[in-house]
Amino acid sequence: MRAIPAASVALLGTAALSACVPAGAAVGGGSTFGFTVHPATVAPGGEVTLGVGRGAGGCHGRVTVESPVFDTVIVPRHESSATARVDRDAGRGTVHQVTFTCGGRTGTVNLTIAGGHSHHPSGEPRHPKGVHAGEGGSAAGFDAKEIGLGLALVAGAVGAAYHLARRRSGEDGV
């Protein structure tokens, strides 16, 4: 009779631990080295930022980025992004693949060309705004306080489940 409460505690603990796994650690989701194109939809003549994940499991070398709607871009090994200007004659409403190549590995993402005009014509000076936010996501590194808090929550859930399972089995035996 002790097997049922022990099994429920084990299942609850497994469920709690699987809920704590970051999305980036899930099997099969995303690219092998975390590439991005932002924005995913851009007007002809607009600019896109090409990002490369440099964290664990990411690409640590030079990255070549190619697409039929902009010139080939090289992201140096010490950089995590580069920019590309989309051709002004890119067909509106079309979708093009952007191919990232790093050390023999390749990955693609789609880039959609929207209608309208670019907000920054080539003759107008640009003043970039915002900050470079780093790698982000689960690839940026571990925070000891967050890990400790997560472990405390899991331990509390397992302890509460064990306590409730023991209390109920004691009532059934009376």
Residues 87-119: tens digit of each pLDDT = 988 888 889 999 999 888 888 899 999 874 444
**Where does the pLDDT of residue 124 fall: very low under 50, low under 70, confident under 90, or very high at 90 and above?**
very low
pTM of this structure: 0.48
pLDDT of residue 23: 40
Q: Calculate the CA 137 to chain-centre distance.
A: 6
pLDDT, average across residues 46-68? 86
Q: What per-residue confidence (pLDDT) applies to 5?
A: 63
Q: Are 75 and 99 within 8 A, CB to CB? A: no
Report yes or no: 40 and 27 within 8 Å, Cβ to Cβ: no
Q: State how far the Cα of 41 lies from the Cα of 132, in Å rounded to an integer.
A: 21
36 strand-pairing partners? 51
Grade residue 27 by pLDDT with cuts at 50, 70 and 90.
Answer: very low
- At 162, phi and psi to the nearest 5? -65, -45
For the chain, the average pLDDT equals: 74
